[in-house]
Amino acid sequence: MQPSFKRHRFPAEVIRHAVWLYFRFTLSFRDVEEMMAQRGVDVSDETIFCWTIKLGPQIARNLKRKRPAPSPRWHLDEVVCTIGGKRMYFWRAVDDEGELLDVVVQKRRDTEAALKLLRRLLRNQPVEPEAITTDGLRPYGAALKELGREGLHRP
């Protein structure tokens, strides 16, 4: 489904490009504003913000659909962080090309948390893993064993 660009001052191609820059790269609205100014388009960061709110979800879906399938070699790790004054564990999975596959935030650092991440990965990724590399944390091994995929584990 194509987004509607009716009642906008700028042409659809300019809007599409600005929103694409914001979602494709980790840029702020002001960064996008400066990049558009270098191309001769005078647009404010507030306008870009409105475009991303209105048209962003559709453009992001189109980008996600066109993105190539992730690599079948996955890397899993966890990081301790503080959220709202509480100690939390930020579990993430990336492929060997550095593309983020999934993220889970948990209170615990145990097998259940590793299972939750792995089940979501296996359900949502279009590619079956060939190898899963971890930092050697025991819950990863236990979770992979429970899922019957311990042969893929590379600590």
Note the pLDDT tens digit of each residue in 108-146: 888 888 888 889 888 888 888 888 888 888 888 888 888
Structural domain boundaries in the chain:
12-66, 73-154
pLDDT computed for residue 100 by the predictor: 83
Q: Tell me the CATH architecture of domain 73-154.
A: 2-Layer Sandwich (3.30)
Q: What is the residue-averaged pLDDT of the chain?
A: 86
Tokens at 104, concatenated: 């889970």
Residue 112, CA distances (Å) to 132, 138, 139, 146 in order: 17, 12, 8, 11
Give the residue ranges of the chain where pLDDT is below 50. none
Q: What percent of the chain has pLDDT over 90?
A: 20
